[in-house]
A = this chain, B = another copy of it.
Amino acid sequence: MIIMHKGATAEQIDAVIDEIKRLGLKADVSKGESITIIGIVGDERIIPFQRLSILTGVKEARMIETPYKLISREYSEYRDNNRIIRVGNVEIGGDKPVYIAGPCAIESRAQLFRIAEEVKKAGAHILRGGIFKPRSSAHSFQGLGAQGNDEALEALSWLHDAGRKYEMPTITEIRGEKQAELIAKFVDILQIGARNMYDQDLLGTVARLNKPVFYKRHFGASVEELLSFSEYIAVEGNKDIILCERGVLPIGKGKNFTRYTLDLGAVPAIQNETYLPVMVDPSHASGRRDLVYPMSCSAIAAGASGLAIEVHYNPAESWVDAAQAITADELERIINVCNHIYSIAAENKKKTAPK
């Protein structure tokens, strides 16, 4: 990491970048209002920090040990503010919570459009719909996208069209490198699911498509791992990363009555470490329709930047994850209550934050 002097000129900054490139490395420039920080991407062991530290305009040059330095709040210009990710008219990480809603899996054009209309009316901002579904059994329905190229194209165009018609940016999951380019042509936000969190080649491939990435924590991953693997996206020059907590493995013998354990302490903990926005998925975490409401309230009260919720007009008929889908009516009430909680908890947060 190289920290430039406050008055460093553009020429001085460029000279440092050139020097980094000459060493066969990449420079990651983070320009704040008064300070410029240049991260170095590559194997740090070969970097001649001493030589870099005497270039004109350089205040400090040193190795950063943390594996997530590019997205770290500490080593960036985002010390006191957050990165806001803009998709269409939606701002993620800003002053208002953002709601992603839609069916778990897209089943038909009619199903998607009906749900899209309903969630838009309920107050959702972004439309979700699964086309390539990661499933625990090879013998379960894998999404329309898995049935062939034509079906994938058709489902993607439905999602695209529903998003345009109801004025919501769209999001769907990318499960494998080969689908990535096609999906990116139709969809605004690219999702990496929890099971693929560690799949570093997929991360790189998706990152290079230069669209915002919705990145879910694996159920066996620590917060540090989530941050460290986010760095595989950031090293490609893509920092439009939305982190998502969706529950970790439950502990103990016998029943916990929830599918996963939603780790809401992770929300403020992550916010301390990185400037990236954090959202929460209360649907997959609980796996139970009746817990979506309390877990949504709880997530927003913990400071989450928004929620991703599965909605179906007839939850019981949903092809995938029927037990956790809610109706648009329930979504509307959740949005109203959560907006209210957000305004109370966030406003007071500022007053109580310790130094």
Contacts and interface: CB of A to CB of B under 8 A. Distances in A.
Contacts of A139: 41-44, 67, 69, 231, 235
Contact of A222 (B247, B250, B291, B301): B250
A179 B196 CA distance: 17
Interface in A269-302: 269-270, 272-273, 285-286, 289-291, 293-295, 297-302
B262 A290 contact: no
A30 to B, nearest CB: 16
A353 interface: yes
A42 B141 CA distance: 9
Given A220-B219, A264-B262, A341 B334 contact: no
Given A67-B138, A195-B198, A303-B294, A253 B225 contact: yes
Nearest to A63: B139
A258 interface: yes
Contact of A293 (B179, B344, B349): B349
Contact of A198 (B42, B134, B286, B294): B134
A136 interface: yes
A224 interface: yes
Interface residues of A, number: 95
A299 B339 CA distance: 17
Interface stretch (A5-13, A83-91, A152-160, A199-207): A199-207
B253 A290 contact: no
Given A228-B136, A265-B285, A341 B301 contact: yes
Contacts of A295: 264-265, 268, 302
Interface string A185-202: 000000000011011111
A70 B48 CA distance: 48
29 contacts: A42-B139, A43-B139, A43-B140, A67-B137, A136-B229, A138-B228, A138-B232, A139-B235, A176-B200, A195-B198, A218-B220, A221-B251, A222-B253, A223-B256, A225-B254, A228-B254, A248-B252, A256-B265, A257-B265, A261-B261, A265-B285, A290-B353, A293-B352, A298-B299, A300-B301, A301-B301, A333-B348, A333-B352, A341-B345
Closest 10 CB pairs of A and B: A220-B220, A176-B201, A222-B252, A67-B137, A224-B254, A301-B301, A257-B269, A195-B198, A298-B302, A297-B301
